[in-house]
């Protein structure tokens, strides 16, 4: 069947209703009231209705992934990936309650509509139209809706341990409807700086930003500073913690690779 024709047959009412119901579940991260598990159980029911072999995989108390498997074991595997968790919402900054989604002028307003429950609803809509039209799969589709994307990726790590490697993946993160074919990746480091007699004072850094080479006095002997002309990957310190005793500081550094891998 022509792809344009398939697109026209997508059940948009189903997608909209799914999104409204999913946004109504406050799956906030840091976790509150088992919100991520409630969202996972809701999506597992939706996947079962679509004929999938559905699983709710417990990641930690109150936190779970929803996974649905369609198709056979032969052929390539395509993963639909989305995350259940949303960042907290300050209701005082909202015109409407963030977890009571409303439709205004053709748009849905609510926490997580874009990042990224809208993507999850669209993926369920895609699975539904394939089912409705009786299109046979030449491989397997795995819907992977995970918890804790906004923090430590516990849900993704759990999914990777439980399920076989996939051949392809579609991630529903918002990109302004522009197709992105690569991701720079992310790395997390724990950095310990210790140098007798050379105390570093995190308090003096509050409210200030320092270039790497300007803070090079914190580096161990023999490690050259970064020259002003050199480019480093985007990075941020998430935590900086001091210890009693000889000058010792720990920091958690989040760094994104500057290379795109195709």
Q: Which domains does the chain have, with CATH numbers?
A: 3-171 (3.40.630.10), 186-256 (no CATH)
Catalytic residue from among 37, 57, 148, 149: 149
Residues pairing with 248 in the sheet: 194
Catalytic residue from among 36, 57, 85, 148: 85
Q: How far apart (Å, rounded) are the C-alpha atoms in residues 70 and 86?
A: 27
Does 85 qualify as catalytic in the annotation? yes
What pTM does this model have?
0.75
243: left (phi over 0), alpha (psi -120 to 50) or beta: beta
Q: How far apart (Å, rounded) are the C-alpha atoms in residues 84 and 200?
A: 40
Which residues in the chain show pLDDT less than 70?
Answer: 195-262
Q: Which pLDDT value is given to residue 41?
A: 98
Asked whether the CA dihedral 19, 20, 22, 27 is positive or negative, the reply is: positive
Q: Which pLDDT value is given to residue 171?
A: 95
Does 91 qualify as catalytic in the annotation? no
Integer angstrom CA distances of residue 240 from 96, 211, 217, 254: 36, 17, 17, 12
Q: Which pLDDT value is given to residue 261?
A: 40
Q: How far apart (Å, rounded) are the C-alpha atoms in residues 102 and 91?
A: 14
Q: Which pLDDT value is given to residue 192?
A: 79
Q: How far apart (Å, rounded) are the C-alpha atoms in residues 159 and 145?
A: 9
């Amino acid at each position: 069947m022509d792809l344009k024709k398939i697109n026209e047959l997508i059940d948009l009412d189903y997608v909209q209703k799914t999104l409204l119901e999913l946004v109504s579940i406050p799956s906030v991260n840091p976790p509150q009231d088992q919100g991520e598990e409630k969202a996972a159980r809701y999506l597992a029911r939706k996947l079962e209705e679509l004929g999938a072999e559905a699983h709710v995989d417990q990641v930690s108390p109150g936190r779970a992934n929803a996974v649905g498997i369609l198709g056979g074991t032969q052929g390539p595997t395509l993963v639909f990936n989305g995350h259940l968790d949303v960042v907290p919402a300050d209701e005082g900054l909202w015109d409407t309650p963030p977890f009571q989604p409303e439709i205004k002028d053709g748009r849905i307003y609510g926490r997580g509509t874009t990042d990224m429950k809208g993507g999850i609803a669209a993926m369920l809509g895609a699975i539904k139209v394939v089912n409705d039209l009786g299109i046979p799969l030449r491989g397997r589709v795995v819907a992977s809706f995970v918890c804790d994307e906004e923090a430590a990726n516990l849900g993704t790590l759990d999914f990777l341990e439980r399920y076989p490697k996939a051949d392809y993946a579609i991630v529903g993160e918002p990109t302004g409807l522009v197709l992105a074919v690569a991701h720079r990746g992310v790395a997390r480091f724990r950095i310990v700086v210790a140098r007798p007699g050379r105390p570093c004072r995190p308090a003096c850094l509050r409210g200030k930003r320092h270039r790497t080479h300007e803070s090079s006095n914190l580096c161990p002997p023999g490690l050259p500073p970064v020259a002003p002309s050199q480019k480093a990957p985007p990075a941020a310190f998430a935590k900086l913690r001091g210890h009693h005793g000889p000058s010792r500081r720990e920091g958690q550094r989040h760094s994104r690779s500057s290379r795109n891998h195709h």
